[in-house]
């Protein structure tokens, strides 16, 4: 009768299934954290800009200050457009980085699984 080495089976199960799952979850959590921080930074910048614009509008008292405020709006609109573009580029960069890392992780796990299967077939 053949005895089974449960420690070896447990180690193989961990290597084939649990370790890759932990690695992918770690990668996903890191990506989610970076994405959330990027969103929070962007939202804070937009809110700060909006509040500053409301404060400037409240200081309008005559035609000259209104004209000055309106001229400033063009600059603010340009800055916001650049900020939105930068924020979108940042999110795209995060997504591409996540995709590349997850593809590499998958490739490494497939190679490891193939090596383990090959090793198991030779010992069987």
List the one residue out of 45, 37, 55, 44 whose CA is nearest residue 81.
Answer: 45
Residue 123: what pLDDT? 64
Reduced to 3 states (helix: H, G, I; strand: E, B; else coil), residue 58 is: helix
Q: From CA 49, how far away is CA 90, in angstroms rounded?
A: 20
Residue 15 in contact with residue 112, Cβ under 8 Å?
Answer: yes
For every one of its 124 residues, what pLDDT tens digit does the chain have, with 9 covering 90 and above?
Answer: 566 667 877 887 787 788 889 999 999 999 999 999 999 999 999 999 999 999 999 999 999 999 999 999 999 999 999 999 999 999 999 999 999 999 999 999 888 878 877 777 776 5
Residue 114: what pLDDT? 82
Copy the structure tokens of residue 11.
């180690």
Residue 109: what pLDDT? 87
* Residues with Cβ within 8 Å of residue 112, at least 6 apart in sequence: 15, 16, 20
- Give pTM, 2 decimals: 0.76
């Amino acid at each position: 009768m053949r005895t089974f080495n449960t420690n070896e089976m447990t180690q193989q199960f961990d290597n084939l299934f649990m370790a890759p799952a932990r690695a992918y979850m770690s990668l996903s959590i890191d990506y989610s954290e970076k994405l959330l921080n990027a969103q929070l930074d962007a939202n804070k910048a937009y809110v700060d800009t909006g509040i500053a614009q409301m404060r400037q509008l409240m200081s309008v008292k005559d035609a000259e200050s209104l004209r000055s405020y309106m001229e400033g709006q063009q600059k603010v609109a340009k800055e916001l457009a650049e900020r939105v573009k930068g924020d979108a580029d940042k999110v795209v960069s995060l997504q591409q980085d996540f995709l590349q890392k997850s593809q590499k992780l998958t490739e490494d796990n497939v190679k490891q699984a193939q090596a383990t299967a090959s090793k198991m077939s030779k010992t069987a």
